[in-house]
Amino acid sequence: MSRGIRLLPRIHDLYLGRAVLGTVLLTWAVLLGLDVMLTLAGELGNTGQGNYSIPQAVAHVAYTIPRRAYGLFPYAAVIGTLMSLGQLAATSELTALRAIGLSRRRLSVTVAITLALLTAVMVFNGETLAPWGQRQADALKASSRSKDLIVARYSGVWAREGAVILNAEGGEQRADGDDRWLELHDVRLYEFEDDGRLASIARVGIAEHRPGGWLLRGVTRTTFGEDFVTREHVEEERWDSQLDATALGADIDRPRYLSAGALSDAIEYRQRNGLDAADFEEHYWGRWFYPLNVLALCLAAIPFAFGSLRSGGLGKRLFIGIVFALGFWLLQTQFVKMASAFKFDFRVAYLLPTLIMISVSVALFRKRSG
């Protein structure tokens, strides 16, 4: 009989997979619950600003749950895997599985497949529900806290300043040394008379928020009179407005909350126009390496279940899981920061910590087998 790994799951694979799945989901729920409660406690401190009340705060946090679940899953996966395998080792169930002929490799493959299924769900969530929920949360919070600001779902940003309504298709935060400002693109300014009649429409190429007001560049204004229409073009003019640029920019240029497709489009736009795309590239490649990170992190932790966790309690397994998760996160964070500072490929920064974890896994497997 062949000693290779059977592709079809058997009853012991299903048993092990169910044990890992249940513990990972429970760990995930605990971490997510703590994160949500702490965030909600912080949001309650912001209530009372404008129309932002307790129901709005609860809804805001609820919208962010898919995004928080996506971010916490790798840590829940490694902690839950260590706890479930450690419990099986402590009760000699892993020993029994080994006694019926299951190799460490087969056990690891079963765990990897179980986690891969959950990871696939999270990747889908990270590309669909998580960005959508974050947009809804930001829109709800911004519109509740400022009576003049409305962040639309599909048409960029809308805001009102007196008799003028602003619509911008997009924008970004810009910096030049210590000088920082908000820059909006493809802006429309709709001005209305007191009786509600449309007085003018101004098409603005770029609107920059500067001290004392807004600087409008490339302005084409169409004015509507009672029996005439005029059009004029100016290269630059100032708009003395008290519109809150901080609130207006809250939904703009937040790459860590974008999907991979949106990040790819943003990178292409910035490269085409000679703009810095480093922040977008960082999060774009983070999306691609997310599944590999989860798998490498968990595989590196699995060998502990065959030795040091057998006689350890819940506290020991939890401690080792947290050390692995935080260690990997700190290692990868430092590599990514170095890539940003020294301008080398982010793919290298994400790959190196993963290779280190895989090397640790191989070394530990060989040690346990020795």
Q: What is the pLDDT of residues 137-155, one digit of tens each?
A: 877 777 676 655 554 444 5
Q: Are 255 and 279 a contacting pair, CB within 8 Å? A: yes
Q: Is there a domain that residue 289 lies in? A: yes
* Domain-ending residue, one of 226, 243, 260: 243
> Do 34 and 111 share a domain, yes or no?
yes
Tokens of 138: 């930001």
Q: Is there a domain that residue 2 lies in? A: no
More confident residue, 340 or 160: 340
What is the C-alpha end-to-end distance of the chain, expressed in Å?
25
* Domain-ending residue, one of 188, 221, 243: 243
> Do 101 and 159 share a domain, yes or no?
no
Q: What is the pLDDT of residue 29?
A: 95
Q: Which residue bears the tokens 């240029």?
A: 253
Nearest to 80 by CA among 298, 229, 339: 298
Single-letter code of the amino acid located at 290? Y
Q: What is the pLDDT of residue 175?
A: 62
Tokens of 247: 């609130």
Q: Is there a domain that residue 263 lies in? A: no
Q: Is there a domain that residue 92 lies in? A: yes
> Do 285 and 224 share a domain, yes or no?
no
Tokens of 207: 């609107």
- Tell me which DSSP letter residue 276 carries: -
> Do 234 and 167 share a domain, yes or no?
yes
Q: What is the pLDDT of residue 153?
A: 46
> Do 346 and 198 share a domain, yes or no?
no
Contacts of 216 (CB under 8 A, 6+ apart): 187, 202, 204, 206, 207, 236, 237, 238, 239
Averaged confidence pLDDT in the chain: 80
Structural domain of 194: 155-243
Q: What is the pLDDT of residue 154?
A: 45
Beta strands in 39-163 (DSSP E): 149-151, 157-161
pLDDT at 308 over 60: no
Q: Is the pTM above the cut of 0.75?
A: no
Per-residue confidence band for 273, with pLDDT thresholds at 50, 70 and 90? low
Q: Is there a domain that residue 364 lies in? A: yes
* Domain-ending residue, one of 243, 258, 288: 243
More confident residue, 82 or 285: 285
The fraction of the chain above a pLDDT of 90, given in percent, is 22
| Mean pLDDT across 342-364 | 84
Give the C-alpha distances (Å, rounded to integers) separating 348 from 260, 270, 327, 331.
18, 21, 18, 13
> Do 227 and 333 share a domain, yes or no?
no
Q: Per residue in 159-188, pLDDT tens? A: 777 788 888 887 776 766 667 777 888 899
Compute how many other C-beta atoms are within 10 angstroms of the C-beta atom of residue 330: 11
- Distance, CA of 161 to chain centre: 32
> Do 351 and 304 share a domain, yes or no?
yes
More confident residue, 320 or 66: 66
> Do 24 and 129 share a domain, yes or no?
yes
Q: What is the pLDDT of residue 1?
A: 42
Per-residue confidence band for 26, with pLDDT thresholds at 50, 70 and 90? very high
| Mean pLDDT across 98-126 | 85
More confident residue, 177 or 265: 265
> Do 119 and 181 share a domain, yes or no?
no
Tokens of 14: 């299903």
Q: Is there a domain that residue 5 lies in? A: no
Q: CATH number for the domain including 226?
A: 2.60.450.10
Distance CA 79, CA 97 (A): 22
Q: Is there a domain that residue 60 lies in? A: yes
- Tell me which DSSP letter residue 187 carries: E
Looking at the structure of the chain, the number of domains it has is 2
Pairing of strands 164-176, 157-161: antiparallel
> Do 177 and 74 share a domain, yes or no?
no
Q: Is there a domain that residue 29 lies in? A: yes
Q: What is the pLDDT of residue 264?
A: 85
**44 membership: H or E segment, kind and range:** helix 11-44
pLDDT at 201 over 90: yes
> Do 130 and 20 share a domain, yes or no?
yes
- Distance, CA of 270 to chain centre: 20
> Do 237 and 318 share a domain, yes or no?
no
Single-letter code of the amino acid located at 186? D
Per-residue confidence band for 315, with pLDDT thresholds at 50, 70 and 90? low
